[in-house]
């Protein structure tokens, strides 16, 4: 492994044969990019991680990683909002993101021009949802939430990612304010107290003045956050009726998951049957935050 402050590169001894096709994965987040190359079995053979800076500098690092690697196609899951309708004039753009310097930026065209490969373009959370979907048995319908710097969600039903006029923006749904939290304004720049504005990672520092990673997992604030996440899970349960809801992202932990389960049961109040709460609300099955990478490999493979 070679490491510096800007980049971490890893080569993994997964098998490549002379007739194997290779697939690429680009997971673009507001903080970092994870680029990887995988084989036919969707196993990572090489990976690089680097900081998200300007679009020009970041995309050039992506191009440099893939140049000469002979990948057949690339799955690209990006932070949003973005335009992923193939017929739209701004297909391939990140649109109204609050990420400085990235609003209204075309991220697909520069990569296609430089690398000349098909690219499956979607949100990072859709990539994660698809990766979790193909990694689990008996999941005809799966919803994946990422609870981190922001909150996003992806839906996969019967093997297809859901979204017609655009991708879901389920992190910005309204939730019922708790009386104990009524004074907190919320951090979403668009809606203040939507789900993301009340339960994402930055709300920890906004409420407590402590960076999220330094907040003890048994702090009472997680009872509040767990309630809001549970409300979102109830909404999705009553509208989508999935087999499973996966809760990932940097804010989630086994401790917070138990709070979400408790609040979910209370809020749903047995209105519909949930056969097994321990499997219905779950942390990711793919280890080391690898859901999006596997999902991107699989989505790239679908282009062949």
The CATH number given to whatever domain includes residue 268 is: 3.30.420.40
Angle at Cα 293 formed by Cα 288 and Cα 296, nearest 5°?
160
31 in any annotated domain: yes
Provide the domain limits for residue 236: 136-282
Same domain, 246 and 174: yes
Write down the pLDDT at residue 282: 97
Separation of alpha carbons 51 and 118, rounded Å = 25
211 in any annotated domain: yes
Same domain, 176 and 251: yes
User: By 3-state DSSP, what share of the chain in percent is helix, strand and coil, each rounded to 5?
Assistant: 35, 25, 40
Q: Which two tokens stand for residue 78?
A: 């990006």
On the question of a cis peptide bond just before residue 2, with omega within 30 degrees of 0, the verdict is no
203 in any annotated domain: yes
268 in any annotated domain: yes
130 in any annotated domain: no
Separation of alpha carbons 110 and 116, rounded Å = 10
How many CB atoms lie under 10 A from the CB of residue 57? 11
131 in any annotated domain: no
Same domain, 277 and 143: yes
Same domain, 120 and 174: no
Same domain, 172 and 262: yes
**Is there a contact between 276 and 173 (Cβ–Cβ < 8 Å)?**
no
Domain count within the chain:
2
Q: What is the pLDDT of residues 76-116, one digit of tens each?
A: 999 989 999 999 999 999 998 888 999 999 999 999 999 99
Separation of alpha carbons 206 and 14, rounded Å = 43
Write down the pLDDT at residue 4: 35
Same domain, 214 and 255: yes
129 in any annotated domain: no
Q: What is the pLDDT of residues 225-262, one digit of tens each?
A: 999 999 999 999 999 999 999 999 999 999 999 999 99
Same domain, 85 and 205: no
Which run of H or E residues covers position 226?
helix 221-239
Same domain, 189 and 157: yes
Separation of alpha carbons 285 and 282, rounded Å = 8
**Is there a contact between 268 and 234 (Cβ–Cβ < 8 Å)?**
yes
Same domain, 220 and 277: yes
40 in any annotated domain: yes
Q: What is the mean pLDDT of each run of 10 residues along the chain (304 residues)?
A: 40 53 95 96 96 97 96 96 93 92 97 97 95 89 94 94 80 96 94 96 96 94 98 97 96 97 97 95 93 97 95
Among 40, 34, 49, 98, smallest CA distance to 71 is for 40
Task: Look up the pTM and report it.
Answer: 0.90
Same domain, 197 and 176: yes
**Is there a contact between 300 and 24 (Cβ–Cβ < 8 Å)?**
yes
Same domain, 107 and 181: no
Buried b (16+ CB within 10 A) or exposed e, 125-138: bbbbbbbbbbbbee
How many CB atoms lie under 10 A from the CB of residue 67? 9
Specify the pairing of strand 281-282 against strand 244-248. parallel
Same domain, 157 and 269: yes
Write down the pLDDT at residue 2: 34
């Amino acid at each position: 492994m070679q490491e510096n402050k800007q980049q971490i590169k890893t080569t993994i001894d997964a098998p490549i044969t002379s007739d194997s096709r290779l697939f690429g994965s680009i997971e673009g987040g507001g903080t970092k990019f994870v680029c990887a190359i995988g084989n036919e079995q969707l196993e990572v053979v090489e990976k690089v991680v680097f900081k998200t800076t300007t679009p020009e500098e970041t995309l050039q690092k992506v191009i440099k990683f893939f140049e000469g690697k002979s990948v057949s196609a690339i799955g690209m899951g990006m932070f949003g909002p973005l335009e992923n309708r193939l017929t739209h004039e701004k297909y391939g753009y990140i649109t109204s993101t609050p990420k400085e310097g990235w609003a209204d930026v075309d991220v697909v065209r520069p990569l296609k021009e430089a690398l000349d490969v098909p690219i499956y373009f979607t949100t990072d959370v859709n990539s994660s949802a698809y990766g979790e979907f193909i990694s689990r048995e008996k999941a005809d319908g799966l919803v994946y939430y990422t609870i981190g710097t922001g909150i996003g969600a992806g839906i996969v039903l019967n093997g297809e990612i859901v979204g017609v006029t655009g991708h879901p923006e389920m992190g910005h749904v309204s939730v019922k304010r708790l009386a104990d939290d009524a004074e907190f304004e919320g951090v979403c720049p668009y809606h203040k107290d939507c789900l993301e504005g009340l339960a994402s990672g930055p709300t920890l520092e906004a409420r407590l003045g402590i960076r999220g990673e330094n907040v003890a997992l048994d702090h009472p604030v997680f009872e509040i956050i767990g309630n809001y996440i549970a409300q979102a899970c109830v909404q999705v349960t009553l509208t989508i009726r999935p087999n499973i809801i996966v809760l990932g992202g940097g804010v989630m932990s086994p401790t917070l998951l138990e709070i979400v389960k408790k609040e979910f049961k209370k809020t749903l109040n047995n209105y519909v049957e949930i056969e097994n709460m321990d499997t219905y609300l779950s942390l990711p099955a793919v280890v080391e935050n690898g859901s999006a990478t596997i999902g991107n490999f699989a989505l790239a493979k679908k282009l062949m």
